[in-house]
Amino acid sequence: MDTDEKDLFRTSLEKVAASAGPDAWPAAVADFGWHELLEEDAETAVSILSDLQGRFLPHTSFVDDVALAATSRTDWNRHPEAPVTRTVFPGLGTARVGSILTGGPATDSGDCTVAVAGVVSMDPRATSSLLVPALDGSALAIVTVPFHDEDLTLEPAGIEPESGWTRVAGTVAGKIVATGAEAADLWQAMRGAAYRALAYELNSIGREMLAATVEHVSSRKQFGRELGSFQAVKHALADTRVWQECAELAADAAWESATPQAAILAKTLSGRFFRSAAENCQQLLGGMGFTWEHSFHRYLRRGLILEQLLGTSAELRAELGATVKSGDMPVLAPL
Phi/psi-derived region of residue 266, left when phi > 0, alpha when psi is between -120 and 50, beta in every other case: alpha
| Mean pLDDT computed over 246-256 | 96
List of residues 6+ apart from 327 with CB closer than 8 A: none
Looking at residue 227, its pLDDT comes to 76
Contact between 189 and 70 (Cβ < 8 Å): yes
Contact between 127 and 76 (Cβ < 8 Å): no
- What pLDDT digit, counting tens, does each position of 275-295 carry? 999 999 999 998 888 888 899
Higher pLDDT, 82 or 14: 14
| Mean pLDDT computed over 123-137 | 94
- What pLDDT digit, counting tens, does each position of 188-221 carry? 999 999 999 999 999 999 999 999 999 999 987 7
Share of the chain above pLDDT 90, in %: 80
**Sign of torsion over alpha carbons 112, 117, 121, 125:** positive
What long-range pairs does 250-258 form, CB within 8 A, spacing at least 24? Answer: 250/199, 250/335, 251/47, 251/196, 251/199, 251/200, 251/203, 252/47, 253/332, 253/333, 253/334, 253/335, 254/195, 254/196, 254/199, 255/43, 255/196, 256/333, 257/330, 257/331, 257/332, 257/333
Looking at residue 290, its pLDDT comes to 85
- For the chain, the domains span 185-326
Phi/psi-derived region of residue 61, left when phi > 0, alpha when psi is between -120 and 50, beta in every other case: beta
At residue 228 the predicted structure's pLDDT band, cuts being 50, 70 and 90, is: confident
Pairing of strands 153-156, 165-179: antiparallel
Looking at residue 107, its pLDDT comes to 58
pLDDT at 106 over 60: no
| Mean pLDDT computed over 229-237 | 89
d(CA 44, CA 61): 17
**DSSP at 150:** G
d(CA 38, CA 69): 8
Q: What is the mean pLDDT of the chain?
A: 93
d(CA 230, CA 295): 24
Q: Is residue 83 helix, strand or coil? A: coil
Check: CATH 3.90.1150.10 for 185-326?
A: no
At residue 334 the predicted structure's pLDDT band, cuts being 50, 70 and 90, is: confident
pLDDT at 63 over 80: yes
pLDDT at 130 over 90: yes
Higher pLDDT, 230 or 309: 309
pLDDT at 245 over 80: yes
Looking at residue 69, its pLDDT comes to 94
List of residues 6+ apart from 163 with CB closer than 8 A: 57, 59, 61, 301, 302, 305
pLDDT at 256 over 60: yes
At residue 100 the predicted structure's pLDDT band, cuts being 50, 70 and 90, is: very high
**How deeply is 286 buried, as exposed, middle or buried, from its count of CB atoms within 10 A (0-12, 13-18, 19+)?**
middle
At residue 34 the predicted structure's pLDDT band, cuts being 50, 70 and 90, is: very high
Q: What is the DSSP string of 234-283?
A: HHHHHHHHHHHHHHHHHHHHHHHS-SHHHHHHHHHHHHHHHHHHHHHHHH
At residue 229 the predicted structure's pLDDT band, cuts being 50, 70 and 90, is: confident
Looking at residue 80, its pLDDT comes to 64
Distances (CA, A) of 98 to 122, 138, 142: 19, 12, 12
- What pLDDT digit, counting tens, does each position of 149-176 carry? 888 999 999 999 999 999 999 999 999 9
Contact between 299 and 208 (Cβ < 8 Å): yes
d(CA 19, CA 309): 28
